Amino acid sequence: MPNPDYVIERLSSNSYGELIEIWEASVRATHLFLTEKDIAFYKPLILKYALPGIKTYGIKNNNALLGFMGVSENKVEMLFLRPDCRGRGLGRKLLSFALNELKIRNIDVNEENPDALGFYLHLGYEVVSRDELDGNGKPHPILRLQHRTG
């Protein structure tokens, strides 16, 4: 079976509805430390503040959006994949794009998400600092990572 062709492209605000669906599905599959109340708290913040404050890039196959990352000037702010698309190398492709095309070497990860942390460490990132609280003051520690080439 041939490898499917994946395309990474810049997304517009017209994609926010689909992005928030991917975000929620991914969070429910990977952020097992979050409660329903937490998800209800973060979801409108992602939609109203986080997405408009970053550039988003989607990874697509046959025009179907499989996942996305959001970047600021110097950091990957978020990376989420549809749960059924995990393990296909899509996250690796998005991070490679961030490193090689956008020259972005930094990323944050929830300490309580060991699968994501392991993924980033495997790809050459290292922990450079830790914050006890997330950006909203919630008790979900954030690890700040930087790629070794950075």
- In tens, the pLDDT along 26-50 reads 999 999 999 999 999 999 999 999 9
Q: CB burial class (10 A; 0-12, 13-18, 19+) of residue 123? A: middle
The pLDDT > 70 percentage for the chain reads 97
Name every residue whose Cβ is closer than 8 Å to that of residue 81 and which is 6 or more positions away in sequence: 22, 26, 59, 66, 67, 90, 91
User: Which carries the bigger pLDDT value, residue 77 or residue 3?
Assistant: 77
Question: What topology does CATH give the domain 7-147?
Answer: Aminopeptidase (3.40.630)
Amino acid, res. 56 = T
- Mean pLDDT across the chain: 94
